[in-house]
Amino acid sequence: AQTIHQWPVAEIKAVGSPLSLGCTIKGKSSPNLYWYWQATGGTLQQLFYSITVGQVESVVQLNLSASRPKDDQFILSTEKLLLSHSGFYLCAWSLRGGGQDTQYFGPGTRLLVL
């Protein structure tokens, strides 16, 4: 069965500091991967998606970047955090090709920027 992990579980960071969040998925070969952001009590905003290693498409610019260094790994990062980056970051996956529409979310990382 597939499992999706996100790290860290939670972070408290200072404005202007760098950030790196990670996501790994096991049990699925070549999945599509996605990053989402959710403000407290808010909706889910898709940030990035990737269909293969080394290829990342940006959906919304929030002074964040993403990379896919391995087939099973997706990284979200920034060199300088803003207060507005606080929220819940969710990684999601879907199958490649047919059936790629159904997305499943990881456990998420809570970020508080002070």
Partner 1 sequence: GEQVEQLPSILRVQERSSASINCTYENSASNYFPWYKQEPGENPKLIIDIRSNMERKQIQGLIVLLDKKAKRFSLHITDTQPADSAMYFCAASNTGANTGKLTFGHGTILRVHP
* Binding-site ranges for partner 1 (CB under 8 A): 32, 34, 42-46, 49, 51, 57, 59, 90, 94, 100-108
Judged by CB, which is closer to partner 1: 67, or 103?
A: 103
Judged by CB, which is closer to partner 1: 16, or 107?
A: 107
Judged by CB, which is closer to partner 1: 51, or 62?
A: 51
CB of 93 to partner 1, least distance (A): 10
SS3 category, 85: helix
CB of 3 to partner 1, least distance (A): 13
Name residue, tokens 């896919």: 68
18: exposed, middle or buried (C-beta count within 10 Å: 0-12, 13-18, 19+)? Answer: exposed
Task: Tell me if 7 sits within 8 A of 75, measured CB to CB.
Answer: no
